[in-house]
Chains A and B, each alone.
Chain A
Amino acid sequence: MKRRDFIQLAGLGTGAFMMPAFAMGRNVSPEAFLEKSIDTAVKKRLADAALNAAKSKGASYADVRIGRYLNQFVITREDKVQNIVNTESYGVGVRVIANGCWGFAAVVDVHNETQMAKAAEDAVAIAKANARLMKEPVQLAPQKGFGEVSWKAPIRKNAFEVPIKEKVDLLLSVNDAALKNGANYVNSVLFLVNEQKYFASTDGSYIDQDVHRIWPIFNITAIDPKSGKFETRNALSAPMGMGYDYLQSNPSDKITGITTRYNKGYDMLEDATAAAKQAKEKLTAKSVEAGKYDLILDPSHLWLTIHESVGHPLELDRVLGYEANFAGTSFATLDKWQSKNFQYGSKQVNLVADKLQEGSLGAVGWDDEGVNTKKWDLVKDGVLVNYQAIRDQAHIIGEKESHGCCYADSWSSVQFQRMPNVSLAAGKTPLSVDEMIKDVKKGIYIIGDGSFSIDQQRYNFQFGGQLFYEIKDGKIAGMLKDVAYQSNTQEFWNSCTQVCDEKDYRLGGSFFDGKGQPSQSSAVSHGSSTTRFNGVNVINTARKI
């Protein structure tokens, strides 16, 4: 499902709620979530049936993914529960290489070895048929087997074990707080995901993993009926690779300042209270004067700029042209990487890919082709040094092993290269946000993500936000509205002059990042500390109709 479809579902932006027919699995009662997944010994037996069948039909490689995917969405507006969606999807995907070509087949609700063998045989038959159209055989980077291993997200409280009533009560109290503080309308949603994934391959790996994700959001609207104007303020939460513990915040999770922001614990009630007041304040805020400003970007905003201008252009399949018809290609071509001196950003800019980061959306023990996850540099001291590559791409950039960033959004989807967490490293010298602002003559401080758009090669972009504050001579001078900035990726990252230290480092992220045809969704985090960019072009987005 595409990110924008979910945005539409959640009513963010328009206030309209839509409930599309989900291709996410069958609807179940919440109690079904508490039933145990099938035993790993049974999964191993099923997986072996498929691997053996694939080999006997002539596959040179095979992998099997047995997946149980749980989703729970609680959707409310004002004093009403609009919908509670509970879905479960269980099935198997078998991927093989035969005659040098990939083949894939998937089966729903698999419970015996005969079904597994049949899926493997179908995958081999497809590979052999496609091999006739193939130009170059698949080259797979070597990967050692890990035997029987497991990984569990380090959650403190499984969200699926929390009663629905508790979740409904939380959202309705959030809505109530917003309405009491000046909101005219409020929508709030809790998205919960649990992926129970078992991977096995002919390399000798049998990997059992339990992945959890959570995303609490709201959208608050304040209206001035006299002028007919309205303003909105969305939640400053981040989607996280955490359990329900994300909603139990401690004082140490809060970053105070012009508005409170959150680290590994989110106080939804407090944020909604502030949001309602800020949405009202926006109605009378000063409309920005277009021009060049120094931008101070909070991590709750900068994650999206990193995602679009660094994460996507450094996906190797885009660079090579495999996404040309849809998502596009990339300006970060192989020759720029080969030159070893392509200045992606200023010396302050260190961008890191990381599939290990605790609490992040991308963290797993192994990726969806059995590669152990890792951390690697993409941009070091401003210079482009690497891409994101999986097993069948590693040789193209001279790597001996995959980066471990292969993912499929379901047992029924073919795994392919997906963005790992891509983050801006914190500054090495101590620097707080207040110290950073003190030095700015004419600037705008932006908090929260808003409108986003970037071209198909990732040069030209435009971003909005949730909260904008004018900075005049080192001091915050008041709230602004109608702000969007436009820049070019390389120019923008080279205008980066300062990055706050690790005390300010926080994660943001995308819960539903779309890629591929047919489109697949993945979840990815982006960390940063507050960062300064000098002389960025700001436009005024106010119009009259």
Chain B
Amino acid sequence: MAILSKEEAKKIIDKVLAFSKADEISVGLEGNRTGNIRYARNSVSTSGETTDLSLSVTSIFGKKSGTSTINEFDDASLEKTVRRAEEIAKLAPDNPEYVPMLGPQQYSETHSYAEATAAINPDFRAKAAFDSIDPCAKKNLTAAGYMEDTAGFSAMGNNKGLFGYNKATSVDFSITVRTADGKGSGYAARDYNDASRLSTASATEVAMQKALASASAKALEPGKYTVILEPTAGVDLLQNMMRSMDARNADEGRSFLGKKGGGTRLGEKLFDERVNIYSDPQNSEIPGSPFSGDGRPQEKVMWVENGVVKNMSYSRFWAQKQGVKAIPAPSGFIFQGGTESLADLIRGTEKGILVTRLWYIRAVDPQTLLYTGLTRDGTFYIENGQIKYPVKNFRFNESPVIMLNNLEAIGKPVRAGGNLVPPLKIRDFTFTSLSDAV
């Protein structure tokens, strides 16, 4: 019920559009079923499932805008929602940055929906948790994990002729395994559109190995080290950088992309020439929605090419003001990599530190994109191509911009948090203090 077909969604949206008396109206219709299971101390703590179907109407008079939402779908409720949005709009102040709604758009089809994920039921979740808890319990290890699955659709339409529809599924799983004495901790995370690719047992196996291998860590002096950031560690820093590529902030001079004397660093080489980052909703590993929240088509966009900043993201208002194409921010990014596996990168490292996960990352200075945070759940010393021993966790203070200038090697990308991220070998990564946390 929560997932309507394209035809069903269009019928409801057209009906709502017909009720409108406003200059412009746009209608969003979304439905999904979300389930989760959470466990800790080798026992399930919570599990649930919710379904939601909701409709949102935005009405415009001149430059005034009003939004109203509803989750009932009889004709009277739909009409009432349109009237309410119109009332709110009439009372609203003018929005000087208002841009007229888009007309008809061409959206390419993406493969963001998988039946296997849509079919997840409480038994599937219970088994996923059991496959993770059972091997841990058998080895006297303690598992804490979480799995969340969503299947849903999103449709939008307006009175200028725009209509878009997309179905999507996702499953996110993370697992932390700790040793009974609390001296070792390991982590693994997986996310897919298609749940048939998820094995909670194999992800848990990785976390178990890391928990056992990380026990009784040695303390190394903080300082600058060559590190190998696993994709689960590198993704957060890279994501923060990608979310800071808004053109307006750069034009206004309050972004890492702002330039001395005014202007932006668009077209400048900011990173090592091996850095290539793009987005593509058609990518089969991270298929995304073919349209952005305001109806703009999501296309393949090169953000960084051979280390040069190629594009920034724009709101429609700012793009119009600057006279450029309004490229929306992407939902996920692809960091192009090589063919080497994580094991290959370790083998090629004389001295370095392998980082499983970064935690509690916070911006310190938006000017330089300096972030602080800590390593967590599996940090190891590498010598002569081999993992020698576990080391205590570090606090880092580092900027992804500096990091991507200190690039030693790029491995083969894997999916992490909805992005494709390679393991990265970085020299002179700055650790500023030690942490006793396990």
Residues on A facing B (Cβ under 8 Å): 13-16, 21, 26-29, 80-82, 84, 86, 104, 108, 129-130, 133-135, 164, 168, 184-185, 221, 223, 225-230, 232, 320-326, 328-329, 331, 333, 412, 414, 451-460, 462, 464, 482, 484, 486, 488, 517-518, 537, 539, 541-545
Contacts and interface: CB of A to CB of B under 8 A. Distances in A.
Interface string B379-408: 000000000000001010101011000000
A296 to B, nearest CB: 21
Contacts of A184: 252-254
Given A27-B68, A462-B372, A104 B48 contact: yes
Contacts of B40: 321-325
A539 B432 CA distance: 9
Nearest to A455: B437
B393 to A, nearest CB: 7
Most chain B CB within 10 A, of A16, A225, A325, A458, is at A325
Given A325-B146, A329-B178, 5 more contacts: A21-B293, A26-B54, A228-B261, A320-B41, A460-B434
Contacts of B108: none
B71 A543 contact: no
Nearest to B130: A133
Contact of B93 (A81, A130, A544): A81
B376 A14 contact: no
Contacts of A133: 43-44, 126
B435 A108 contact: no
Contact of B369 (A21, A451, A545): A545
Given A80-B97, A451-B364, A517 B36 contact: yes
A325 B397 CA distance: 24
Given A321-B142, A331-B437, A459-B436, A27 B244 contact: no
A459 B261 CA distance: 43
A230 B38 contact: no
Contacts of B328: none
Contact of B368 (A21, A26, A543): A543
A129 B402 CA distance: 52
B437 A456 contact: yes
B261 A457 contact: no
B428 interface: no
A455 B376 contact: yes
A462 B395 contact: yes
10 contacts: A27-B68, A29-B84, A104-B48, A226-B260, A459-B435, A484-B364, A518-B148, A543-B365, A543-B368, A544-B368
B249 A456 contact: no
Contact of B399 (A13, A223, A228, A543): A543
B336 to A, nearest CB: 22
Nearest to A412: B50
Interface in B235-274: 244, 246, 248-249, 252-256, 258-262, 270
B44 A486 contact: no
Interface of B: 30, 36, 38, 40-48, 50, 54, 56, 67-71, 84, 87-88, 91-93, 95-97, 122, 126, 142, 144-146, 148, 174-176, 178, 182, 244, 246, 248-249, 252-256, 258-262, 270, 293, 359-370, 372-374, 376, 393, 395, 397, 399, 401-402, 432-438
Given A322-B41, A459-B435, A16 B365 contact: no
Contact of B261 (A29, A164, A225, A232): A225
B254 A15 contact: yes
B374 A460 contact: yes
Nearest to B436: A459
Most chain A CB within 10 A, of B93, B364, B395, B436, is at B364
Contacts of A451: 362-364, 372
Contacts of B369: 545
Contacts of B48: 104
Contact of B88 (A29, A232, A321, A543): A29
B91 A29 contact: yes
A130 B44 contact: yes
Contacts of A542: 365, 368
A541 B365 contact: yes
Nearest to B47: A130
Nearest to A227: B260
A6 to B, nearest CB: 14
A27 B275 CA distance: 43
B436 A488 contact: yes
B246 A14 contact: yes
The list of the 7 closest CB pairs from A to B, nearest first, reads A228-B260, A460-B435, A324-B144, A457-B437, A455-B437, A325-B144, A543-B368
A400 B126 CA distance: 34
A484 B372 contact: yes
Nearest to A518: B36
B284 to A, nearest CB: 27
Contacts of B359: 328, 455-456
A453 B375 CA distance: 12
Contact of A453 (B56, B255, B361): B361
A16 B372 contact: no
Contacts of A458: 437
Nearest to A32: B84
A541 B142 contact: no
Contacts of B88: 27, 29, 86
Contacts of A325: 40, 144-146, 174-176
A545 B401 contact: yes
B45 A322 contact: yes
Contacts of B30: 21
Most chain A CB within 10 A, of B47, B92, B397, B401, is at B397
A402 to B, nearest CB: 18
Contact of B43 (A135, A228, A412, A457): A135
